[in-house]
Structure 1
Amino acid sequence: MKILFHTMKAAILFVACTAIFYYGILWVTDELSEFHRYDVPEGNALKASSVAISDEDRSLLQRLTLFLLDGE
């Protein structure tokens, strides 16, 4: 009888912790879905690349160098 009581207590604790974790993940997902990553930045934004040459104006060597430097 004592073993059954301890087993039920552990099962209830497990279900409670799982439910708390599940609803916590749902809350975090809901909070982050409101965050728009691709909005235009506000304030003093800097360009990510220091090279301001368009893709059409780059030579093959410049493109290869940027490819190797970026590690892509």
Structure 2
Amino acid sequence: MDMKMMLLDMLKVFCLFIAFTLLFYYGLRVMHAEYEHYHRYDPPEGPAVKVFTEEHSFFERIHLFFRLGE
């Protein structure tokens, strides 16, 4: 009888584990579907200012890279 109760408890824990795993998985799928079409990199609206106004050559960039140590 003791072994039967232990197997029943293990089955309950296994079923709970499967249920919560499925709940977590489908929760992640719902969140992904919600944010899939969220555009983080849309062009700014309003009085936005461009940060870089001049284009540097490759050698100027590499010089700056080595000078700043990045």
TM-score (norm 2): 0.70
**% identical equivalent positions:** 35
Distance in 1 (CA, whole Å) between partners of 2:48 and 2:32 is 27
Looking at structure 2, the residues matched to 48 and 70 of structure 1 have their Cα atoms a distance apart, in angstroms, of 22
Structure having the higher Rg: 2
When you count helix as a share of all residues, which structure comes out higher? 2
Q: Aligned in 2, Cα 1:11/1:46: closer, same or farther, shift over 3 Å?
A: farther
**Count of residues in correspondence between the two structures:** 65
Give 5+ residue unaligned stretches, structure 1.
none
CA RMSD of aligned residues (A): 2.4
Moved over 2 A (4+): 42-49, 67-71
Structure 1 length normalisation: TM-score? 0.68
Gaps of 5+ in 2: none
